[in-house]
Structure 1
Amino acid sequence: MTIFTRTENFREFIRFYPMVSIIVTIHIVLYLLTILPVFPNNWFFENFSGVNLYIMEGEVWRLITPTFMHSGFSHMLFNSFSLILFGPALERMLGSGRFLFIYLFSGIAANVATLMFEPLSYTHVGSSGAIFGLFGYYIAIIIFRKNMLTKQNSQIIVVLCVVSLIMTFLQPDINVIAHLFGLLGGFLVGAIPYFNKRDLSESVRTTASWAGSQRKNISFQSPVKVLIWAVIIILAILGFWR
């Protein structure tokens, strides 16, 4: 059984993964508010979507709020499902606070990059940049702390990441910059060393078994190694963008 297999019931899921549950709830609530006749038509999109021109004019909250907005039901459902699939393992591994930091940092990095590389008229919504940040963090674990994941889980993550990147360039109307820089943001955070991470080297069958996992001190990674990998990813992103 992989770390992406969910066996919890609804109440257990909320208790074990409160931050994932809160973010998904925000997705659903904001979507409902955009379709229900409670606020003026398109009020949420007009005030919270990512519009580069408005950000440059000082509406800096638009670097955060687009991460929780979606353009339609299928968009919201797909991103929420992706978060439910890939988020719990990291939240359990890192704790809710650190998980939220990675998620927001990746989402903001994606939105800042969109501001830098897309025209002022560009408008965007969606949490995919933040979700790609989770992929980036997983990749950093695979590269720098191989003992934290089984070979099976590592292979699954790599395959899913590669497929997701390929689909990024094949599907229409995708914010490619957000996906790539969200991935980079999560990777860079994952490359920063800290202590007392959970050891996930054994396959986890239930969430309760995660709680009993032993913590191990992780040694600092070489800054040169981190820098080299960061440069490689940045060059790859620039190459794709050209």
Structure 2
Amino acid sequence: MDCESVVRGICRHIFSVYSRQRLICEERMFQQRRRQQNFGVYLLAYHLLQNEYIPPVTLAAILFQMAVFLGFVPPIGPWKTREMCLLPSRIIAHHEWIRLLASVVMHVDDMHLYYNMVSLLWKGRRLERRLGSWRFLLILLVFAVASSGGIVALSVLATDVFHLHYLALMHQCAIGFSGVLFALKVLHTTYFPYEDSLLLGWMPIPSRYACWAELLLIQFLTPEASFIGHLSGILVGLLYTKGPLKYFVDLLESIMPLSFGLPGEVGSSQHYGYRRTSSSTRGATGSRNWGSGTTGFFSGGDRASYGWRTDQGRYEAYTGGLSEEEQMRRATEESLRYRSRTTPNAPPYPDNDDLYRYR
């Protein structure tokens, strides 16, 4: 036995001991943090209660991930992060396919859960209303599997093809809903192309570049974030809008039964799911403001153009610059006003006899 092999054996033993000790310390710190901090969960619950309407699939996805984080789903509880995280080497070598889905609905801490779920709340309210609840559910499931599979594929590509072994992508554990959120971000910018995004809340950028700018910004601010996971989500979104993934979802939607009671056709404006019962003025006009909040580093809304909307003039010529909700509200008001003018049986104002009767 030569000296070099002895040194390698000693170094390997030291590294294994160090890895085990580090794993134990991380698990202890993780458990202590979970016991001491749940502020993000309370803040998320407050946001849910403050919203006038949350579509059913969006609400169910948020509540399920909250339940997973709080330990109400034992098979994928927070204490099983190491066993369920997305680890490409384990998936390929040991065929642990459960990691592809379980890792998507698990989160590191309460604030990780909070930011992801607020982003899902904002995107889901608009996309589910436009696509319908049943199709939106299929999209979430397909995006979850596809984004996880994309992480594994990109890790193998970087390691075996480009020989980027120093990145150790095959041995990085990843959890969280961020990949699906980036894919939904691509869908949102596709279905709502006339809305600019604000970088850091004040810098307007074209919607088509919003996901790429957010990818670079998040990686710059939080280097420990999974760049491969976020990139995989963007690629999955592009595969849906530009590639074959949309046809796969169409196929699933056509062959799977539609008798689960999920509401919503494409473009449906029916109100299902969670709605606060309130008689205030805010409750009467709350449905007009869908998607007007801010999430993460970007915010969308009906803002003035900054020179990137090439078809904005032609678009506003047909819509008057109004959103779909405002167009529907105005059409309803015009219909009621026309009916009141053509129906003489119900006078718009009480006469003198009615006034004396109510005194």
Which category of TM-score, normalised to the shorter sequence, fits these structures?
A: 0.5 to 0.7
For the pair 1:89 / 2:126, whether they are aligned, the reply is: yes
SS of 1:59 mapped into structure 2: coil
* Equivalent residue number for residue 27 of structure 2: none
* Equivalent residue number for residue 110 of structure 2: 73
> What amino acid does structure 2 have at the position aligned with 1:124?
A
Q: CA deviation at 1:205?
A: 4.2
In the alignment, which of 53, 58, 65 is matched to residue 13 of structure 1?
A: 53
In the alignment, which of 111, 130, 142 is matched to residue 105 of structure 1?
A: 142
Q: CA deviation at 1:161?
A: 2.7
* Equivalent residue number for residue 125 of structure 1: 175
SS of 2:323 mapped into structure 1: coil
Unaligned stretches of 5+ in structure 2? 1-47, 156-168, 198-204, 251-264, 269-314, 333-359
Q: RMSD value over aligned CA atoms? A: 3.6
For the pair 1:136 / 2:182, whether they are aligned, the reply is: no
In the alignment, which of 10, 17, 29 is matched to residue 67 of structure 2?
A: 29
Q: Distance in 2 between matches of 1:71 and 1:23?
A: 17
Percent of paired sites with the same residue: 24
Contact 1:140–1:190 under 8 Å retained in 2: yes
Once the two structures are superposed, the pairs formed by residues 137-216 of structure 1 within 5 Å of their partners are 137-141=187-191, 149=192, 151-152=194-195, 157-158=207-208, 160-170=210-220, 171-191=222-242, 192=246, 197-198=266-267, 202-205=322-325
- In the alignment of these two chains, the number of paired residues is 191
Contact 2:86–2:103 under 8 Å retained in 1: yes
Q: Distance in 1 between matches of 2:193 and 2:89?
A: 45
Contact 1:33–1:39 under 8 Å retained in 2: no
Residues 203, 150 of structure 1: CA spacing in aligned structure 2 closer, same or farther, 3 A cutoff? farther
Q: CA deviation at 1:113?
A: 2.2
Residues 54, 190 of structure 1: CA spacing in aligned structure 2 closer, same or farther, 3 A cutoff? same
> What amino acid does structure 2 have at the position aligned with 1:27?
Q
Residues 55, 39 of structure 1: CA spacing in aligned structure 2 closer, same or farther, 3 A cutoff? closer
Q: CA deviation at 1:135?
A: 1.2
| TM-score when normalising by structure 2 | 0.46
Q: Distance in 2 between matches of 1:72 and 1:41?
A: 13
Residues 44, 20 of structure 1: CA spacing in aligned structure 2 closer, same or farther, 3 A cutoff? same
> What amino acid does structure 1 have at the position aligned with 2:267?
R
Residues 98, 190 of structure 1: CA spacing in aligned structure 2 closer, same or farther, 3 A cutoff? farther
SS of 2:170 mapped into structure 1: coil
Q: Which moved more, 1:122-131 or 1:182-191?
A: 182-191
* Equivalent residue number for residue 232 of structure 1: none
> What amino acid does structure 2 have at the position aligned with 1:22?
A
